[in-house]
Amino acid sequence: MRTSLALVVAGLCVALVVSIVLATGLGPTSIAPGLTARIVLAHLLDAMHVGHAAHTWSASQDTIVWLIRLPRVLLAGIVGASLAMVGVALQAVTANRLADPHLLGVSAGATLGAVAATLFLGAVFGPFTLSLLAFMGALAATAIVITLAHRHGRLDSDRLLLSGVAVSFVMLAAANLLLYLGDQRAAASVLFWTLGGLGLARWNLLVVPAVIALLGAIVLIGRRRELNALMTGDLAAVSLGVSVARMRREVFLVSSLVTSAMVAVSGSIGFIGLVTPHFCRPLVSSEHGRLLPVSALSGAILLIWADVAARTLIAPEDLPIGVVTALVGGTLFVVLMRVERRR
C-alpha cells in the first residue's frame, strides 16, 4: 500500500526546512542551527518592517548566513527541484527510466551555449545573454537528439538514450574546444560550467531560476494525465486522446527552458534528474500528480546536501558539485538497480 501523499509531502517539507537551516550553518565557520534560524528570522522581520529584539550575533555571522550561505542553499534547492521534475517528465515522454537532462544532451547543449556566451559574446543581448545562449544550446541539442532517435516515423526510446549520450559527448567536446581556443584567463573562470557549482549564488540571482522553476512545475503538473498516458506507450496514449507528438514537443521545450535556466546559474549537474524519480516511485507510485511534487522536494534536499559536501570536504576550497552528484548519484543508482533486481 502506498504511503499517503499528504504525509509524504509534509515529511519532505519538514526535512527541507531542517536541511536549509542545518546546511546554512555548516561550513569552515560553523554556526549553530538556533543562531542560524534567529538570523534568518530577524532579516525576514526587517523585510516586513516588524520590530524584533536586539541582535546578539556578530556582523560577520550575519554576513555569512544571510549574504553568502542562505542564497547558495536556496539556489541548490531550486536547481535540485527543477532537475528532478525535468527528469520525471523526460522519463515519461520517452518511456525510458534512464532518461534525464544530463544523459539526453540537454545539459551539455546548455553548457555549450553558456561557454560560448561567456567567452565570445559578453553581454551583447544584455543581462539575459547567458540564459538565452544556454537555452538555444539546450534546444539545439534536444532537436538533434529527437531527430536521431526517430525510426520509421516513431521515437525509439533505446535510440533516444544512445543519441543523447552521443550528442552530449559532442557538445561537451565543443565546449572544451571553445575553452581551449578562447582567452585562457577567461577559460579558467568558465570551467565552472562544465563541472557545476553554486558559488556564484546571490539574492538577485535567485529570482529568474525560481520563476522559471515555478512555471515549469505548473506546466508539468498540469499535464500529469498526459504524462501518465505516455508511460503506457504511444498506442495506449493515442487511444486515450493524447496528441503524442505535440505533447513530446511541449515537454521537450519546457525541459530545455528549465534546464538551461539552471545551467546558467549552476553549471552542468548530473544524476539528480536520473536518480530522484527512482527513489520516489516506491513511495508514491508512478502517477505524476503525486510523483512530480515529491520528486521536486526530494531533489531539492538531495542537492542541498550534495552542496554541503562540495563546500566542506576540501574546505576552504569548493569541490565542483557536479563531481559530488556524479559520485553519489552513480553509487545510489547502482544500489537501486541491485535492489530492484532482487525484487
How many CB atoms sit inside 10 A of residue 105's CB? 28
pLDDT of residue 1: 41
C-alpha to C-alpha distance for 67 and 64, rounded to whole angstroms: 6
Grid cell listed for 295: 520528486
Cis peptide before 316 (omega within 30 of 0): yes
Grid cell listed for 254: 519546457
* 57-103 pLDDT, tens digit each: 888 999 999 999 999 999 999 999 999 999 999 999 888 787 888 77
Tell me which residue of 336, 337, 308 sits closest to 321, measured CA to CA.
308
Q: Return the CATH number at 319.
A: 1.10.3470.10
pLDDT of residue 126: 64
pLDDT of residue 53: 59
C-alpha to C-alpha distance for 262 and 248, rounded to whole angstroms: 21
pLDDT of residue 236: 83
**DSSP-H helix ranges across the chain:** 5-25, 33-47, 59-62, 70-93, 106-116, 129-149, 157-181, 184-195, 207-222, 224-231, 234-239, 244-266, 272-284, 288-312, 321-342
pLDDT of residue 52: 61
Domain residues for 60? 5-342
**Strand blocks (E) in 93-164:** 150-151, 154-155
Amino acid at 9: V
* 31-42 pLDDT, tens digit each: 999 999 999 998
Residues 6+ apart with CB under 8 A from 211: none
C-alpha to C-alpha distance for 188 and 86, rounded to whole angstroms: 30
Number of H helices, E strands in the chain: 15, 2
Low-confidence ranges of the chain (pLDDT < 70): 1-3, 51-54, 122-128, 153, 157, 184-193, 336, 340-343
Strands 154-155 and 150-151: antiparallel
Amino acid at 126: G
Q: How many domains, the chain?
A: 1
Which 3-state string (H, E, C) describes 4-43?
Answer: CHHHHHHHHHHHHHHHHHHHHHCCCCCCCHHHHHHHHHHH
Helix axes 106-116, 184-195, angle to 10 degrees: 160
* 221-259 pLDDT, tens digit each: 999 999 999 888 778 888 888 888 888 888 888 988 898
Output the CA angle 129-133-134, nearest 5 degrees: 115
C-alpha to C-alpha distance for 133 and 129, rounded to whole angstroms: 6
